Chain A
Amino acid sequence: MNLLFGRTISLQLRLTVAVVLSVLLILGDRYTSGGTLVRTSLNTLVSPLLYVANVPYEVFSLGAKSLDTRDRLFQENEALRKKQLLQSEQLQQYQFLLRENQQLRALLGASSRQQRARLIAEVLSVRSSRYSHQVVVNRGAIDGVLEGQPVIDEMGIVGQLTQVGSTTSRVLLMTDTTHATPVRILRNDVRTVVEGTGKINLVQLQHVPHSLDIRLGDILVTSGLGGTFPEGYPVAVVTEIDRDEGLPFSKVYAEPVAQLDRIRLLVILGKVASKEPDA
């Protein structure tokens, strides 16, 4: 039988080295923002792993797609056509309003709104740490995305990009406990902040005074403060208000507008203006 560690380093020393290295890594990762380059390259290393782990899901969905019936496809096609017709009608109005808005802003001498670059990303079906809310998307540094870019789906705000690798990156969902979104109430423009609770369908409004004018069903949209999220995207709908006078602040809960548990296609909004609006 082999003499265990007879000639090499003892097990205790190995453990000590491992613990020290891990603690340094944890502290470095949590409390410094440096080493982004290191992170990007490390994330790039595991990207292939994520793509391989996504394969079973892709195979299943491909199988499901090819088994779809002709009738169902026809129906879906018809429904989408109708939806597109309605939306393109609204879009005609939108172009007109956009131009009018620009002219009015020019008359007022206000700065014009800038069009943001958009990039469609697909969610890779891989598991993430059970203690935080994140998803992996198939876009990375080679697509030109940067850390901190806002991510939306067809309903509203989803979250923002953290950890960018070269071909994959992570989206921190707005329901994560470490995420906060600056919002205002659509009805009366009161500003507040929405924080994640760690539950996929619940967010919380922090530090809401009892006198604040907020009602059930109020729609919260991004306020544009803080610089991460552009103004005016829907975030959540208020679902529960507890005005307990014994507590310093009211407890207000809201439900995210985006369906965070079933996102598949996302839009990454560009940080910088790519071009002037073409209308």
Chain B
Amino acid sequence: MNRSYALVALSLFIALIMALMPLPFSIEPFRPDWVLLVLMYWSIALPHRVNIGWAWCTGLIMDLATGSPLGVNSLTYSICLYITTSNFQKIRNFSIWQQAVLIGLFLALYHLLQFWLNHFLLDIYFNPRYLWPALVGMLCWPWVFLLLRKYRRHFRIR
């Protein structure tokens, strides 16, 4: 039990590092939100373990690490994880590419919510570029899914 929480936390830690790692300026706008992808995988695979509480805490860490107004990522992660956790049985039954499209929609919702909150807090204006990560995240989902499924089965995380 504690072991599986530790393994989930380890995967999230790696996702956090990947989310914070520097990238060349030209591909930076396309970086998918790794942390949210990993969180969504766990909420579909182990909804009784990883759900809104994890999303909120991880979101807070993300807020602190990226210097956005505190609470913005917590709120948006929690809302996304609410959707995936409450529909985990439906999502599990889709084929992997259908899942990817759904996840892409959730990611778009996440980025729009984030933009909207930041619009009120920081006076920024909408730029269609802000939605690139949702598309890239959608294309990354199958690989994230397969990799994490292998990870989960290998370490028998239940």
| Residues on the A chain within 8 Å of B53, using CB | 14, 18
A-B contact count (CB 8 A): 129
A29 touches B69 (CB 8 A): yes
**B52 on the A face (CB < 8 A):** yes
A22 touches B74 (CB 8 A): yes
**B75 on the A face (CB < 8 A):** yes
Assembled-state Cα–Cα distance A29/B115 (Å) = 17
Distance in Å: Cβ of A199 to nearest Cβ of chain B:
11
B17 touches A52 (CB 8 A): yes
* CB contact between B48 and one of A2, A43, A54 (< 8 Å): that residue: A2
A128 touches B124 (CB 8 A): no
| Residues on the B chain within 8 Å of A261, using CB | 25
B75 touches A18 (CB 8 A): yes
- Nearest neighbor of A125 in chain B, beta-carbon distance: B22
**B91 on the A face (CB < 8 A):** no
Given contacts A18-B52, A30-B69, A56-B22, contact A130 B130 (CB under 8 A): yes
Count class of interface residues, chain A: 35 or more
Which residues 120-175 of A have a CB within 8 angstroms of B? 125-132, 134, 136, 162-163, 170
**A91 on the B face (CB < 8 A):** no
**A5 on the B face (CB < 8 A):** yes
* CB contact between B68 and one of A5, A49, A132 (< 8 Å): that residue: A132
**A57 on the B face (CB < 8 A):** yes
B20 touches A18 (CB 8 A): no
**B6 on the A face (CB < 8 A):** no
| Residues on the B chain within 8 Å of A53, using CB | 16-17, 20-22, 65
| Residues on the A chain within 8 Å of B47, using CB | 4
Distance in Å: Cβ of B93 to nearest Cβ of chain A:
14
Which residues 62-83 of B have a CB within 8 angstroms of A? 64-72, 74-75, 78-79, 82
Count class of interface residues, chain B: 35 or more
Distance in Å: Cβ of B20 to nearest Cβ of chain A:
4
B85 touches A126 (CB 8 A): no
**B41 on the A face (CB < 8 A):** no
Assembled-state Cα–Cα distance A23/B29 (Å) = 27
A11 touches B85 (CB 8 A): yes
**A46 on the B face (CB < 8 A):** yes
Which residues 47-64 of B have a CB within 8 angstroms of A? 47-48, 51-53, 55-56, 59-61, 64
| Residues on the B chain within 8 Å of A57, using CB | 21-22
| Residues on the B chain within 8 Å of A54, using CB | 22
A18 touches B123 (CB 8 A): no
**A190 on the B face (CB < 8 A):** no
A49 touches B20 (CB 8 A): yes
**A87 on the B face (CB < 8 A):** no
Partner-B contacts on A (CB < 8 A): 2, 4-5, 11, 14-15, 18-19, 21-26, 28-30, 39, 42-43, 45-46, 49-50, 52-54, 56-57, 125-132, 134, 136, 162-163, 170, 177-178, 198, 261
Give 9 new A-B contacts, CB below 8 A, not counting A46-B64, A131-B114: A15-B78, A21-B71, A26-B71, A29-B71, A39-B70, A50-B65, A53-B22, A127-B66, A136-B67
Can you list 12 A-B contacts with CB-CB less than 8 angstroms, sorted by A residue number? A11-B51, A25-B70, A28-B70, A43-B64, A126-B65, A129-B66, A131-B68, A131-B115, A136-B67, A177-B124, A198-B125, A261-B25
10 smallest CB-CB distances across A and B, nearest first, come from A25-B71, A22-B75, A125-B22, A129-B68, A53-B20, A18-B78, A26-B71, A29-B70, A131-B118, A14-B52
